[in-house]
Structure 1
């Protein structure tokens, strides 16, 4: 099971073995992990130091078993971090790491990377890093003050601007260790020992996020030159254009405010509470705990409740500014709201798999964006991890890319929430929350640290559409063509809709408390019930749909065969008719040609016999007649000459053949006699020559 839930084998590494010794005794959902490029950061609570390792090197270690074991480096803060760290948040460029807890924030400067493996300071095991403690005196003077959220500003050129939300409804802006601005986002609401303030009414800000920048034209006072200031007024009003970043702030009662401010703005504009539509019988976010913004167009706002509800809304510009009610703090100026929130859907998460009847489990939910796939984000909590895919973002993109004038935006595809990891499946108070989550890139992956010390590392699919093969794409294209022709939905889409499950069977975390036999029996019954309702029942429906589809196809095939037979008969009849029409056409064409010649002859005769024809015309007609007669005579003579030439050529060829065959040839008997005589004469001559040679030899000549 570990090989399936820990693909990077991180449970066996020395880094997480060391972290297990310092895990908190009272577990609650935290984020002690973060990842930037190929570096995985993890906070060691036992020694108050930051551990870092190269996670890509662990992948290479699996491929090359002979390689040395992947080690880690220890980043030791220069100042002792005397607080309980609950968040590890690396900056966008990875130059700084923010370590925050309820009672303070530390910023740790990351050293330079060098060496062949890209480690810090060429792989030195322990490195002392410069550390800043932000506003330590402020937290000492205010025992009830707590840190609610912190985020790095995306517009920071030096990658060093940090925004910290405190429980007194202020956002403090830091650049390295320097406090730059203090922005008020609500009334002063800190509890004291004497009385309870607005926290009882849910007016405390619990989370915030930064939306994409917008351009705003404001009227600012600019000072004139010193020479003009001495003689006349010292200021002049001028309009200028500047960039503002809408900071969306969520309060515990579900109200949402927007703070419009630039990165160096000393004066900000607070608007709210924003109107949320459509109106519901119960207000949205009565137990709000987290907020996340996906930078779509328009931006998508996710509001999480501790009951497991996730509200997906679009941040839209209002047609007219709306006035808000007065805050308790008279020193807080709130402008009319220029924004509205339109809730498109509400997704309800299943928190745990407890089969016991009673009140549903409730816990704070934390949100984390997926930087690879903008349509996806993660929700982690005491009961595990969910992956939520916001499908209407793709429909928004298609609507914006479409150039059709009559195109209408209709959000029809609901979002899907998949329960990936379950850490609570009993009715007891024991929990195994997520203590850290880190997202890996290239290849995409996910690392989770549980309070039990177990590490979950999974590979993620960047986009589910990438799993579709080429053949399925071609089939899907043909199905879409058929759908366009028929004007309905394709059969494949219907089957996918039937197989779509509302509940998934998550991974059950190991190392939980031993359950009783009854609780295990209930968990087994619940798993069986899920299989029956969400798997087997849907497969039965699919089988029934396939049977209907097969019967329909058979009926259509039979009908098509009959239509093909009827069309074959009609084709034969049409072919016979076409043949008859062709013959009739040829006959009519010949008759027409005869009639045309007769008409021409009649016109010539009529024209020649006209009483008022002139002498030249008559002479021309006679000349044409004479030429016609001579032409016919010459044609007859030419034919006669051609025939005579052919006859002469025939006789010449025949005489040549007879001359070849008329050569003299002796009879066979005479030929044989002459041959014998010549043979005898040859023998006699040879004999006489021999005698002459012999006589010459005797005579000595």
Structure 2
């Protein structure tokens, strides 16, 4: 296997070498792989045990790799039924092992140790296992159609199992909690009824996001029941917000029903078949096989047919509840529908590659299609089947999210972008009945990747490309500005190039088969690959090259025009600059003349005011007093200045005389000063001793 198709180097590991020995002989699409965080689970049909491996171990350094290659989880009870689906719970505490004739729940032990394995990396670990309703499957011809863990389970142990008798059984660990009927009973004690001929058997279901109950009667009944219970408990009211989890059920004939229920209640409300718009003559999903819900707002439904058609629809609230007259059932109560389904688009998948001679509609290959959500990118999901793997990108979900986040009242919702389906892996490229089905698919995180197990034993691991715009929310202001610019200036050149490079068919990875193809089939496959490369790759690249040349010529023409406009603007700027200099000089001249005129006006006003004949005596005396005070002030300022000069002169002479006195002081040399100090110290000590002796003698004499 090439490194390009095995990025995580899983094909040659002992983990998958052991799984190859236990692959089923009858090849059909199933899922024997599942992943949770860094643990990859796989079912070993040869020993009926569950293998688990740290898939990130090969990505670590050599000294950091786990010492344990893989662990074997052994069931505490023998599992004799065939297992075709491995489903790990949301918190990775339980694993559901389901097959057509039974369901088992395996409890996972605790993880500890440096590598995070179960029970510190023991090679084989025995796990407690429950068998769900073994007697029910033994005494009745029942088959398991779908198994899903409920997202609202507090203990991470609520499992929903859909059987082919149109019932959903709800289990908590090994205990049966509820049995919800989603359609007419199709099997009674092993005898098939006539209902199966009309495609009324439920083939798949999925759980939609939680909603509040909208039925007034049910709400009133619940409130009255709650009030009665509160009265019996002493009048204490405990208000709890009640929510319902819509379970969307798909039948084989394409009809869709919704079961409204709470996880802790036996009361259910079945509505349907839900009206699907726009109506078509050939109806939707005549050979429906699976359904999936993408939790957008409103929720997006993906309905798959075995013919390769995928219908993308929105599950919306109906304006008014309406009764359905398409189906009458005396054994089950069907309420008026509160929902409506609006199909936006239909995507057709290419199930395998065939030669030119086998391309007619009669030779179209049909097989059940299974759907799997992408846990990283909500706009993308995977469709796997007997002929390989498709990756489908739903474009209108991003437009819905943008419209909901927009705060503009003038924003319009346009769901014109079509979805894109890419054929990633092809396992059927001839007209024979031989198939190489997908036996397991699992999605990895950090780094993002995908692991596929084929019926031939090959393992394909690919890295998934993550769009950064889907993980980091863009700046709303920039987004609005770009939308406004696009509306004003039309589509950008980048969008046009993307449109030219967008292809309808891609060249998938061709998986090797157990038996080699004939030379004629290989030649037809080679011709088809060359035709795809020519029509979908090389031809589009030539169109892009021509578009680039055209765009470059337009840019050069605009550049020349802009250079001419720049020269004209430079010339106009020089003219404007010269005019500005002249105006500045003229302004300075006018400003000087204005100041001179203002001074002359002030002088004339003063002279005119003083020369007025009607000047009063008080004003003249005040003017004379101001003149006198002005003269006296000037004289005092002159005297003060003279006093300051005299004071500075006296200070100078005083400082000079003090310096002379200091310089005339006699100072002894340092040696003489030290000698005199020592002599005086000794004399002082001698005098103190003589005084002490005199006091002692006087005391002896008694004076």
In structure 2, the gaps of 5 or more residues are: 214-218, 636-703
Could you tell me how far apart the structure 1 residues matched to 2:230 and 2:314 are? Answer: 51
Q: What are the Cα deviations for residues 137-164 of structure 1, in whole angstroms up to 9, with x where unaligned?
A: 2222222x21111111111122211111
Report 1:2-401 matches (<5 A). Answer: 2-60=2-60, 63-64=61-62, 70-143=68-141, 145-190=142-187, 196-216=193-213, 217-220=219-222, 222=225, 241-325=241-325, 327-355=327-355, 356-359=358-361, 360-401=364-405
1:386 and 1:421 in contact (8 A); partners too = yes
Could you tell me how far apart the structure 2 residues matched to 1:546 and 1:325 are? Answer: 58
Distance 1:567 1:625, change over 3 A: farther
2:293 and 2:302 in contact (8 A); partners too = yes
Could you tell me how far apart the structure 2 residues matched to 1:504 and 1:191 are? Answer: 48
TM-score normalised by length of structure 1:
0.80
CA shift for structure 1 position 253: 1.5
Could you tell me how far apart the structure 2 residues matched to 1:516 and 1:50 are? Answer: 38
Could you tell me how far apart the structure 2 residues matched to 1:462 and 1:422 are? Answer: 22
Could you tell me how far apart the structure 2 residues matched to 1:623 and 1:66 are? Answer: 104
Q: What are the Cα deviations for residues 633-690 of structure 1, in whole angstroms up to 9, with x where unaligned?
A: x9xxxxxxxxxxxxxxxxxxxxxxxxxxxxxxxxxxxxxxxxxxxxxxxxxxxxxxxx
Determine which of 435, 442, 456 is the counterpart of 1:438: 442
2:140 and 2:189 in contact (8 A); partners too = no
Q: Secondary structure at the match of 1:22?
A: coil
Distance 1:424 1:73, change over 3 A: same
Distance 1:600 1:28, change over 3 A: same
2:427 and 2:513 in contact (8 A); partners too = no
Could you tell me how far apart the structure 1 residues matched to 2:229 and 2:308 are? Answer: 61
Q: Secondary structure at the match of 1:114?
A: coil
Distance 1:434 1:226, change over 3 A: closer
Could you tell me how far apart the structure 1 residues matched to 2:170 and 2:268 are? Answer: 12
Q: Which residue of 2 aligns with 1:653?
A: none
Q: Which residue of 2 aligns with 1:537?
A: 539
Could you tell me how far apart the structure 2 residues matched to 1:270 and 1:587 are? Answer: 95
Could you tell me how far apart the structure 2 residues matched to 1:321 and 1:490 are? Answer: 45
CA shift for structure 1 position 120: 2.6
Distance 1:121 1:597, change over 3 A: closer
Q: Which residue of 2 aligns with 1:455?
A: 459
CA shift for structure 1 position 463: 3.0
CA shift for structure 1 position 193: 8.5
Aligned length: 616
Q: Which residue of 2 aligns with 1:648?
A: none
Q: Secondary structure at the match of 2:576?
A: helix
Could you tell me how far apart the structure 1 residues matched to 2:438 and 2:263 are? Answer: 33
Could you tell me how far apart the structure 1 residues matched to 2:559 and 2:37 are? Answer: 58
Could you tell me how far apart the structure 2 residues matched to 1:554 and 1:627 are? Answer: 84
Distance 1:624 1:131, change over 3 A: closer
1:106 and 1:133 in contact (8 A); partners too = yes
CA shift for structure 1 position 412: 3.8
Q: What are the Cα deviations for residues 10-64 of structure 1, in whole angstroms up to 9, with x where unaligned?
A: 222223222222222221101111112222221122222222222222333xx42
Q: Which residue of 2 aligns with 1:650?
A: none
Q: Secondary structure at the match of 2:560?
A: helix
Q: Which residue of 1 aligns with 2:549?
A: 547
Q: Secondary structure at the match of 1:215?
A: coil
2:436 and 2:455 in contact (8 A); partners too = yes
Distance 1:95 1:606, change over 3 A: closer
Give the aligned CA root-mean-square deviation in angstroms.
3.5
Q: What are the Cα deviations for residues 274-295 of structure 1, in whole angstroms up to 9, with x where unaligned?
A: 1222333432222211111112
Could you tell me how far apart the structure 2 residues matched to 1:193 and 1:122 are? Answer: 47
Q: What are the Cα deviations for residues 499-546 of structure 1, in whole angstroms up to 9, with x where unaligned?
A: 222222211112343222222121111111111121111111111111
1:88 and 1:97 in contact (8 A); partners too = yes
Distance 1:116 1:577, change over 3 A: closer
Could you tell me how far apart the structure 1 residues matched to 2:387 and 2:55 are? Answer: 26
CA shift for structure 1 position 165: 0.6
Structure 1 residue runs of 4 or more that deviate by more than 6 Å after TM superposition: 65-69, 191-195, 223-229, 237-240, 476-479, 618-628
Is 1:426 matched with 2:430? yes
In structure 1, the gaps of 5 or more residues are: 230-236, 635-701
Could you tell me how far apart the structure 2 residues matched to 1:485 and 1:625 are? Answer: 81
Q: Secondary structure at the match of 1:164?
A: strand
Report 1:458-497 matches (<5 A). Answer: 458-463=462-467, 465=469, 480=482, 483=485, 487-497=489-499
Could you tell me how far apart the structure 2 residues matched to 1:226 and 1:591 are? Answer: 100
Distance 1:166 1:78, change over 3 A: same
Q: What are the Cα deviations for residues 353-388 of structure 1, in whole angstroms up to 9, with x where unaligned?
A: 212321222211001112222222111001111122
Could you tell me how far apart the structure 2 residues matched to 1:152 and 1:201 are? Answer: 29
Report 1:586-665 matches (<5 A). Answer: 586-604=588-606, 606-607=608-609, 610=612, 612-614=614-616
Could you tell me how far apart the structure 1 residues matched to 2:607 and 2:238 are? Answer: 104
